Structure formats: structure tokens, C-alpha cells
Structure 1
Amino acid sequence: MSEYFYGDRLFTALEREEPAAGMLLVAAPGMFSPEFARSIVLIVEHNESYTFGVVLTERSEIAVYNVLPEWLPAVAKPQALYVGGPVSPQSVVGVGVTKPDVIIEEHEPFTRLANRLVHVDLRVQPHEVTELLDGMRMFAGYAEWAPGQLQDEIERGDWYVAPALPGDVIAPGSADLWGDVMRRQPMPLPLFSTFPVSIEDN
């Protein structure tokens, strides 16, 4: 039944933002791809060659302590490894929230994504950046789109593009991030904030 709702293309009737680093991809209610159902993806890089980002909504059962213990002091609670996407699950991507007074451009390990949101170069020593961050997340793997692929999916109504807030990256484990992001979008999106992963389960 979800395919009939999805066919309404809820997002295609709304004013659109362009995808860019630091923006969110909000999965459409009734998303066809089960791995992206009720997901929020933070775009880390977007250019003519590809787009890559990390899924903010899928926490694994693996503790950061077990795989990257040296980074534990910088990681926000819950201190678990998140599943960033299906591509290269053995690689880790770090995204952080800087403290309010940090000038991002003055720190080489940081690449600005949005206000206080940074892509963290994990090749540095953790102590070089820990004091500059209010928290960070570690993502195993990432999501990637070939040239034109993401734009096609947006045009089809698969994704809504929205600005990211710092709290989206380090949201508490109990938060319903997809619902919270939907609630702050223009109408009628807040009305769909409680839409389930599968409409058959409602």
C-alpha cells in the first residue's frame, strides 16, 4: 500500500533547496528503498563527479570504544558507531560540532559543512581537536550517488533537501531525528512526522 502514498510525490510540490555540503536529505514517507526508510542523510560533499553523505539515523551495536578508543573523549553520547551507509563499511567518517567560539577556517583538520558542523580529518591525533568540539559522531561507511543520480531522485520525490542544524548530528539516542526534522519543515511536512517505516505496521 505504501507505493500508492509514495506516488503522491509529497516533496515535488514544495519549494526546493539545492543539495550541497551541510544540507540534509530527508527520505520521503514510503521510501521505496528499505535501507533509507525514515532516514536523514547529511551531505558531506557534493560536486559534478559525485555526492557522498552519511546516514544520521542508524546506530549500530558497536561501541566506539571497541574500534576507535582514542576518539572516545570527543564522541557524543550514545558513544556508538553509526552506520553511515552501504558503501565502504570498513571506512570511518567523522563529523563534528564545533564549540560556538571556534573559527573553523583556522583549523586544518576541519572542513566546514554548515554552521558549527565540520567534516573531521581522522588522520590527526584526537587531542588536537577534542577541545574544539562539543561532540562528534563516527560513521562506518557512507552513501554515495553518481553524477546526476541524486538530482534524479530528488526530482522523483525520493528526498527533500533541508538545512542541517548542529544538534542533528549529535542528537540523543532516544531522539526521533526523522520526525524532528520533518516537524521543522514547511507545511504539510509536519503532518507526516509520525509516518512509520512501513505503513502496513501502522
Structure 2
Amino acid sequence: MAEPPPITAGRLLVAATALTDPTFRRSVVLIAQHDEEGAVGVVLNSPGETPVADILEKWAPLAGEPAVAFFGGPVALDAVLAVAVVPRGDPEGWRRIRGSVGVVDLDTPPAVLADAVRGVRVFVGYAGWGAGQLEEELAEGAWHVVDAEPGDVLADRPGALWRSVLRRQGGNLAMLATYPDDASLN
């Protein structure tokens, strides 16, 4: 069996079918940072109901569809952060994670980024792991580490992201995309 890709910023954690914790069940997490102190990421496929305009009115025009705040994870639910896709360049107010995906400095006026970004996704809270915690979860088989594509961040159908990311992996991971929501009904 091949070694999984290393956990690095810009990769995805895709919840294994055995991960039944309701917070992360069938989640797709973009890793924003990973080092010896732990990891930080945001859940890409958990849209909320609150419009971005209700939280960050000035950023609403740049929000990708659906233009709602997403549940980024269970840590710091009073924190808001944003991730954007920037096809070219390194505009002020944006820090590259990997490829064309990066974190937005929400103190930057949106007009500075307006012409550079393809879209912004706003998250309330984030997912966090202490030193070695994520590696332990990987060893337990809770997650699959896969490469991200820029379209993952701004998926217009975030509810289908878990299946679509697995499907494009091929092999055994692609077969998991067909795993039923409730295996006991199978």
C-alpha cells in the first residue's frame, strides 16, 4: 500500500467513512497550516445559513456562492477567517497557502483584492489539532490526505464535495464515494 501524501498546508483531509463524530462526519478540511505545534484547517463543506453580508458586509460582493458563512470547525467560534482563490499574482492582503489558494487578511479593504480574487469563502471557527494529534488520527484511519484543487474552496455545491473529492482520487478511495449515508440500511 502506498504511503499517503504528507500533511502540508494546501492539502485536504477527507473524513474516512469510519469517522462518525458529527462535527467531522463526511467533512473535507483544507489544511491552512501544519507544523511541529499542530495543524489548523477549515471545513470546506459545511455551509451555514447566515449570509456573509450579515457578518462581513464589505466582503459580501466577493463571496463565492453560496454566499453564506461556513462552519470552519469547532475551535474559536467567535473567530472569522476567509480563504480566497487568486489565479495570478500575490496581491496585498492575501497570503498563499498553496497554488492559487490563500488566506485573506480581513483588515485589508476588499477593493484591494477585488480584481485579483476569483472568490472568497468566509468561515466561522476553524479545525485545530495539537502537536501529534492529527498524525494519531491518521494512524487510526480517521482521515485520507489528498491534494486539493482550487475549485474545492469555492465549490458551488459544497454538500457534494466529500463524494466528488473521493471520486477523483481513483482506486479504493473513489469507491468510498459510493458509501451509503447509513450503511445499516444497506
Instruction: Tell me the residue number matched to 1:167.
Output: 151
- Stretch deviating more after TM superposition (138-147 or 171-180): 171-180
User: Which residue does 1:192 correspond to in 2?
Assistant: 176
Partner residue in 2 for 1:9: none
Mapped to 2, the partners of 1:182 and 1:109 lie a distance apart of: 32
Residue in structure 2 matching 1:76, options 64, 68, 85 = 64
Q: Which residue of 1 is the match for residue 21 of structure 2?
A: 33
Q: 1:201 to 1:81 in 2, by over 3 A?
A: farther
Partner of 2:38: 50
Retained in 2: the 8 A contact 1:30–1:199? Answer: no
Find the residue that maps to 1:95 and give its secondary structure. Answer: strand
Query: RMSD of the alignment, in Å?
Result: 1.5
**Matches for 1:94-105 after TM superposition, within 5 Å:** 94-99=82-87, 102-104=88-90
Q: Name which of 109, 124, 128 aligns with 1:140.
A: 124
Structure 1 unaligned segments of length 5 or more: list them: 1-12
Q: CA deviation at 1:14?
A: 4.4
TM-score, with structure 1 as normaliser: 0.87
In 1, Cα distance between equivalents of 2:37 and 2:26? 27
Identity of aligned residues (%): 38
8 Å contact kept, 1:97–1:118: yes
Contact residue 41 and residue 128 of structure 2 kept, 8 A: yes
Structure showing the higher helix proportion among its residues: 1
Aligned residues: 186
Show CA shifts across 1:15-48 (max 9, x none): 3111111000010013132211110000011111
CA distance in 2, matches of 1:88, 1:196: 32
TM-score, structure 2 as length reference:
0.94
Deviations 1:64-97 (A, max 9, x none): 1111110011111110000000011111110001
Report the CA distance between 1:130 and its aligned residue: 1.7
- Residue 15 of structure 1 corresponds to 3
Residue 149 (1) aligns with residue 133 (2): yes
Query: What does residue 158 of structure 1 align with?
Result: 142
Query: 1:182·1:193 contact (CA, 8 Å) conserved in 2?
Result: yes
- Kindly report structure 1 stretches of 4+ aligned residues shifted beyond 6 Å: none
Shift of 1:175: 5.3
**Deviation readout 1:115-165 (Å, 9 max, x if unpaired):** 211111111111111211011100000000000000011111111111110
